[in-house]
Structure 1
């Protein structure tokens, strides 16, 4: 217990005020993954084509929950279409500009430990593999307090947009802007050098907990599918999982790449079949031809004798 002592010469003390710790505000980060562009192609199909099965994964730094999109199969040009929503609730201390994370340090801990960290949103692009580990393509880390503005078009989206690379990059706070939409660059530095590995078109919106309850939005394309309403992406006909779609595999993979070879092979087989049938029936054909010649000769002799 604390007791404040005031000298009588200063007169009566002023009104009491609360000195309790500030309570954090509750926010919800909504991220819509619209498309990817110019993603590097990690795999090689059986036809020799370069391709990637693209998906996007995101989470808030320090939080265990990760969310990811569905998979855009067989991207042949680095483009992926998703129309997929991530939703991340979190607590934020505005005065300190820190995110509050409450978690147990160990599974046997009784009480939660409160951690304060910079609110960072981490996004990654991956290549899906069915029979081995997924391949990491690129990532992007955004500090919500000071993040670069997005590019309006994919062709103007470059690594120089990032403060670690470019000079005099303008940084803004999503807590002030509330909403952003455009293209951000993703990169890989596994080789020791930062390389642009894809461009991500996404929309970020920061709302309070009360606003999120007034304007609800579900994960992915689930209900309530609003703010904005997300339609299923219009992916090209070549986007499919090959071993679950044998007809599409024949049409778009085998026929598209080997149709000349297939047609030539079929014609050669047809000619060989006709030649085989002719050889097989050759003696019978010769006999019929000789009989026809004999009949013609006999008829000609009869006419001469008359």
Structure 2
């Protein structure tokens, strides 16, 4: 018997995400965002907003993903109806493990976004998270661990999970992500409504806009903020020194231009 469930996944923060880009002032940084989808329902990809100019791999989001799916308790799988081919008339019911896929990306405005790391969570066999990012390591993803739990039994789990990149062959820890996962029935979701992202109904829990650093913004969208928070903060003494030097040169030129001709003649020893 199919049962309808709603998965709510709150992306709270990231930590220690690798820094992929170089800023206009020569600093390492990443423009971090997270996207996610349920296995078998790839068309339901959801994304957070972007935490611009992260200099230390920290990202703040307070962003909610919401996924609805049919679950078969006896088979411990979700039921997905799809057409085998685009020309098929009838749909075929597929049973797929309830897997949440999350990926961390670096946002690029003028080229393709850069993949940074991924996290795959089987809701039936959920890796227990760390309570603190300092203790969030690749050991959490150890398949031999007996610490796995079922989200359908726990109902709600919060903590830190590691993100990995296996493009180089061996798993590499490329960041950590703080999540809150909650599974609800349709009736429970109606009693405790919650919207996607920070949209209404923004409750259970209410998600406030994150407190990001002043330097977290898209640099070319605000030239004044770019100058104030990036260029001035890093190079203000060089700028002040250059302005003083320019003022001194202008003053010296005006002084020389205003000198009487007699003084010039004496300095240059021009006979009268």
TM bucket (normalised to shorter chain) is: over 0.9
CA separation in 2, counterparts of 1:139 and 1:189?
A: 9
- Residue in 2 that maps onto 1:257: 234
2:130 is paired with a residue of what secondary structure? coil
Matched, 1:205 2:182: yes
Q: 2:58 aligned with 1:79, yes or no?
A: yes
- Aligned pair 1:37/2:6, yes or no? no
| Whole-Å separation in 2 of the counterparts to 1:169 and 1:98 | 21
For the pair 1:163 / 2:142, whether they are aligned, the reply is: yes
Q: CA deviation at 1:104?
A: 1.5
Q: What residue ranges of structure 2 are gaps of 5+ in the alignment? A: 267-272
Identify which of 66, 84, 87 aligns with 2:45.
66
Secondary structure of the 1:111 match is coil
Equivalent in 131, 135, 147 of residue 110 of structure 2:
131
Q: Name the structure 1 match of 2:270.
A: none
Give the Cα–Cα distance (whole angstroms) in 2 for the partners of residues 150 and 224 of structure 1.
Answer: 28
Give the Å deviation of 1:184. Answer: 0.5
Q: Does residue 106 of structure 1 match 2:85?
A: yes
Q: What is the aligned counterpart of 2:257 among 274, 280, 288? A: 280
Inter-CA distance 169–276: structure 2 relative to 1 (3 Å threshold): farther
For residue 260 of structure 2, give the secondary structure of its aligned residue in structure 1.
helix
Instruction: Quickly say closer, same or farther: Cα 1:160–1:196, change in 2 above 3 A.
Output: same
Structure 1 gaps of 5+ residues are 1-22, 290-306
Q: TM-score w.r.t. structure 1 length?
A: 0.84
**How many residues end up aligned between the 2 structures?**
264
TM-score by length of 2: 0.94
Separation in 2, partners of 1:284, 1:205:
87
Q: CA deviation at 1:285?
A: 7.4
Could you report, residue by residue, the CA deviation over 1:51-89 in whole angstroms, capped at 9, with x for unpaired residues? 110000010011121001000111111111100000000
- Structure 1 residue aligned with 2:72: 93
Q: 1:204 Cα deviation (Å)?
A: 0.1
Distance 2:233 2:192 in 1: 47
Matched, 1:56 2:17: no
The alpha carbon displacement at 1:207 in A equals 0.3
* Aligned-residue offset at 1:106: 2.3
Residue 16 of structure 1 is matched in structure 2 by none
What is the aligned partner in structure 2 of residue 303 from structure 1? none
Q: Provide the rounded CA distance (Å) in 1 between the counterparts of 2:66 and 2:90.
A: 26
Aligned with 1:180 (options 123, 146, 157): 157
